[in-house]
Structure 1
Amino acid sequence: MEKKCYEVKFTESAEKDLKKLNKSIAKLLKKWISENLIGTQNPKQRGKALTGNLKGLWRYRVGSYRIVAEIKNDILLILIIEISDRKETYKDKKRKTYKDGKIK
């Protein structure tokens, strides 16, 4: 039986979030994504489902940083929507979506 592995893509907004970070932090986050999300068979294992306005999204903790993603089981995709420090992640949150579907 063939094992199903998820791929990871970033919205343009998430790419910008990553570029704003200190290079060493960005490198650490990319490494974590590479080791824990790319090719995983169960993306929910390391994450936590969000609630309220963010219901349907998942978050991953990497130190004091949070990666907010949408898991698309039908196409085996983890779409990273936001990467930010924990202090900023939940501040005044309405569900952030990728408006025009621009995915990198």
Structure 2
Amino acid sequence: MVWRIELSETAGRRLSKLPKADAKRITGFLRDRLASRDDPRSIGTPLKGNRYADLWRYRVGDYRLIAQVRDATLTILIVDLGHRSRIYRR
């Protein structure tokens, strides 16, 4: 099963501002490890709290990807991404 990866406007903008090596590592993770999974939740961690009930976290080095998994359309929407020291402060 192949999942389609979409980036929110915010996530796309933040990805474009990252150092090239880090951006390449993240896009490789999305393409090679996440999109090809039968269940993308198997390598993610659910976020806690009512506000974040449908969001998942993925670790890629020092960066965190916040995503929403949409089973009906086989889509993973990357809502936000950033360095692990700052991503949860937004």
The alignment's TM-score, normalised by the length of structure 1, stands at 0.80
Q: Contact 1:18–1:83 (CA<8 Å) still a contact in 2?
A: yes
Q: Deviations over 1:15-47 (max 9, x none)?
A: 001011111110111111111112321110110
Q: Secondary structure at 1:87's aligned position in 2?
A: coil
Q: Does 1:22 align with 2:19?
A: yes
Q: Rg bigger for which structure?
A: 1
Kindly report the root-mean-square deviation, in angstroms, between the aligned alpha carbons of the 2 structures: 1.1
Counterparts of 2:3 and 2:21 in 1: how far apart (Å)? 26
Q: How does 1:34-45 map to 2 (within 5 A)?
A: 34-45=31-42
Q: Which runs of 5+ in 2 are unaligned?
A: none
Partner of 2:30: 33
* Number of matched pairs: 89
Q: 1:48 aligns with which of 41, 45, 48?
A: 45
Q: Secondary structure at 2:57's aligned position in 1?
A: strand
The Cα shift of 1:6 comes to: 1.5
Counterparts of 2:84 and 2:30 in 1: how far apart (Å)? 17
Counterparts of 1:56 and 1:71 in 2: how far apart (Å)? 8
Q: Which runs of 5+ in 1 are unaligned?
A: 94-104
Q: Does 1:72 align with 2:70?
A: yes
Q: Identity of aligned pairs, percent?
A: 33
Partner of 2:59: 61
Q: 2:5 aligns with which of 1, 4, 8?
A: 8
Q: Deviations over 1:71-99 (max 9, x none)?
A: 001111100111100111111x4xxxxxx
